[in-house]
Structure 1
């Protein structure tokens, strides 16, 4: 169908890859743990929106720029790394303890900010774009390619499996931390831990030569 081969194998591979933790997973978990269910769900929406951009770029060939230009790749890579480090430092320096903020304070403006951060966290990671560009063609017959359609179908499948897994992570993390909402010490520790995780992933992204 549309040149797609071994679709079932792709679904299995997509599920396995989605279970592998990375920057996106940690962003969703930290938001879910520190800010609750609504922020967690919005962070999932942000990450998946970024993935949609990468899928579209891969489908229409725009990601070839990243794979062919070392300069552009490094530029996007360091932009993403610096953004993660910025988020980490900002989280570490925040005066408000995440667990002390009531759910009523999570206005549309707060959630929109969480959404934007999720989108940028994903889009500014060039490895996500290169992943789609290198992974999707393995399940497409080059002799029967029907334009961008097979890439969009495979990318959409990956997004569906990824969204299901991320929603499970977010809801589980938020549920497990509900009993800690009034624990000031736990709030401080988890806020600092979240900040250090963001900084760590930013440094890893920036200095990773793979």
Structure 2
């Protein structure tokens, strides 16, 4: 009965999650710098962050945030500050040690919890995701759709997001790929840091639509 609606949600989400953004940048950096284990836990953190957006969308809190410039700006500035923080840290990082032959080499410098929290916070604080999920749950999904079905959509969105970024992590944590980035030394960190800082600045000056 709800297959058409679900397929629409899945397609829109696929287009959104495949677009490069803070989540993609942070998963790539964690995977290259610390290895497959850290990258996967970062991806799981990003996927878990989806539950935050789903929860307030189902509760209607997202609508309140979208209608309040003060609340939206508070969320926006918190997210921008976090991106600037991790971006500046990346810009100041020294050249990392070359990646070893094993995909997980270097992962000892990053705990699973730290990687997970990084992914979770990056996604959970993203105000663009707030507006995306708000529009998804108010425009695309029929308000008369049972909450249990909408919650099922949310579980799918979180799982699909985690799976997508796990695949990204598997790609960028391969020994050959990591070795290629390692040859760039600190320039890769600087490039990633510049991207994150740029995203943070762009977010800080974005306006609610």
What TM-score bracket applies, with the shorter chain setting the length?
0.7 to 0.9
- 2:33·2:106 contact (CA, 8 Å) conserved in 1? no
Question: 1:109: how far off?
Answer: 6.1
Question: 1:5: how far off?
Answer: 5.0
Secondary structure at the aligned position of 2:155 is classed as: helix
- 2:32·2:181 contact (CA, 8 Å) conserved in 1? no
Distance in 2, matches of 1:16 and 1:109, equals 31
Whether 2:123 is the aligned partner of 1:122: answer yes
Report which stretch shifted further, 172-181 or 158-167.
172-181
Secondary structure at the aligned position of 2:189 is classed as: helix
Give the corresponding residue for 1:92: 91
**In 2 relative to 1, CA 46–168 (structure 1 residues): closer, same or farther, beyond 3 Å?**
same
**In 2 relative to 1, CA 169–47 (structure 1 residues): closer, same or farther, beyond 3 Å?**
same
Question: 1:83: how far off?
Answer: 0.9
Secondary structure at the aligned position of 1:6 is classed as: helix
Report which stretch shifted further, 172-181 or 23-32.
172-181
Whether 2:150 is the aligned partner of 1:178: answer no
Secondary structure at the aligned position of 2:61 is classed as: coil
Question: 1:94: how far off?
Answer: 2.5
Report which stretch shifted further, 199-208 or 13-22.
13-22
Distance in 1, matches of 2:105 and 2:141, equals 48
Unaligned ranges ≥5, structure 1: none
User: 1:78-116 CA deviation, whole Å, 9 max, x = no partner?
Assistant: 111011101111122234x33447756634963322221
Give the corresponding residue for 1:111: 112
How many residue pairs get aligned? The number is: 204
Give the corresponding residue for 1:46: 45
TM-score scaled by structure 2?
0.85
TM-score scaled by structure 1?
0.85
**In 2 relative to 1, CA 130–182 (structure 1 residues): closer, same or farther, beyond 3 Å?**
closer
